[in-house]
Amino acid sequence: MGFSLFNFGSRDLAIDLGTCNTLIYARGRGIVIDEPSIVALENVDGVPTVRAIGDEALPMLGRTPVGLRTVRPLRSGVIADLDVAEQMLKHFINKALGPRSRLPGKLEVTIAIPSGSTNVERHAIRDAASNAGANEIHFVEEPLAAAIGADLPVDDPFGSMVCDIGGGTTEVGVISLLGLAYSRSVRVGGDKMDEAVMAMVRRTHNLQIGETTAERVKREIGSARVPADGRGLSLTVKGLDMERGVPKEIEITEAEVVRALADPVGQIVSAVRTALEHTAPEISADIIESGITLTGGSSLLRHLDAVIAEETGLPVNIAERPLECVVLGAGQVLEERVGRGVLQAA
């Protein structure tokens, strides 16, 4: 087993640098970091300076005084703000290593990257990891890592389909014999859902709500399917009355949220359908049997699994630990429970 004394000094890390959450798996220790990919920046003499990262920056989201702002450096699935992303990665790596960061020797990191990422994006991530102290860097494609973490039979000559629905992107992958037979990444996920909720509330209630509130609405009463009674659950939210410029409280219904989410949900469904259309017949036959496995935080949107099942006619199930699948999968490679053939040179 991995949790031996021998591995105590191990500095091998697997990293899921997500648009919403960063997770790090340390060889022999399991998941050691699970924090939001958020950085709070303060303007010091006109220079943006990091004030807080991850868990410490979260409460500041949408509540920053003048001169302080929070950013999500990976927002759209790529490194949007290189310098900040690098500082965030460095912080998480050091935190993951703890006292081991002062040990000599090599620091090997395996980073899960979106399957659609360009060479420029890959270089940016590699440079960030290297500046954070890593001297051996590998990549593993996200859908493959997600499939390994979801315990799919990735090394069999049998096709499996995984759909990882995160904050910034949705990645669909068809896996067979430890490789991706097909993959597709679309820039739609939880963020687009939150934006849709904000826009709906603004349009129909003349109320401006923050991102954090929109996300709460989505999680608490959001759904991919119209409620049976046409109205469903409801939730009271606070925001800014856009006409009078004062704080106001309104009630939002599930049915309204479902309508607002129809567009991002439709885009996710069509990404899955496109993947199915591009899958070789033999593999399609396997998927009819094995179905589609959902991972990523947004797979938890209520009834999204049922809607994907209806729209594709295939069995759909959500992985056991959807938010952790990618990092657990990359960790399995570190622990050598899966062949290193899945790794790519950075």
Binding site for ligand ADP (CB under 6 A): 18-21, 166-168, 190-191, 215, 218-219, 296-298, 300-301, 323
Assign 3-state DSSP to the chain and report helix, strand, coil percentages, each to 5.
Answer: 40, 30, 30
- What, of Mg ion, ligand ADP, none, does residue 301 touch, CB below 5 to 8 Å by kind? ligand ADP
What is the nearest approach in angstroms of Mg ion to the Cβ of residue 165?
A: 9
Q: Which is nearer to Mg ion, 165 or 258 (CB)?
A: 165
- Give residues 9-28 in contact with Mg ion (rule: CB under 5 A): 18
Contact between 143 and Mg ion by CB under 5 A: the answer reads no
What is the nearest approach in angstroms of Mg ion to the Cβ of residue 157?
A: 27
Taking residue 262's Cβ as centre, other Cβ atoms within 10 Å add up to 14
DSSP 288-311: HHH-EEEESGGGGSBTHHHHHHHH
Residues 311, 319: Cα–Cα separation, whole Å: 19
- What, of ligand ADP, Mg ion, none, does residue 173 touch, CB below 5 to 8 Å by kind? none
What is the nearest approach in angstroms of ligand ADP to the Cβ of residue 322?
A: 7
CB 166 within 8 A of CB 189: yes
Contact between 322 and Mg ion by CB under 5 A: the answer reads no
Length of the chain: 346
Residues 6+ apart with CB under 8 A from 250: 201, 205, 207, 236, 237, 239
Tokens of 260: 């607002």
What is the nearest approach in angstroms of ligand ADP to the Cβ of residue 266?
A: 16
What is the nearest approach in angstroms of ligand ADP to the Cβ of residue 36?
A: 8
Residues 115, 203: Cα–Cα separation, whole Å: 36
Contact between 36 and Mg ion by CB under 5 A: the answer reads no
Q: Which is nearer to Mg ion, 37 or 223 (CB)?
A: 37
Residues interacting with Mg ion, by CB under 5 A?
18, 166
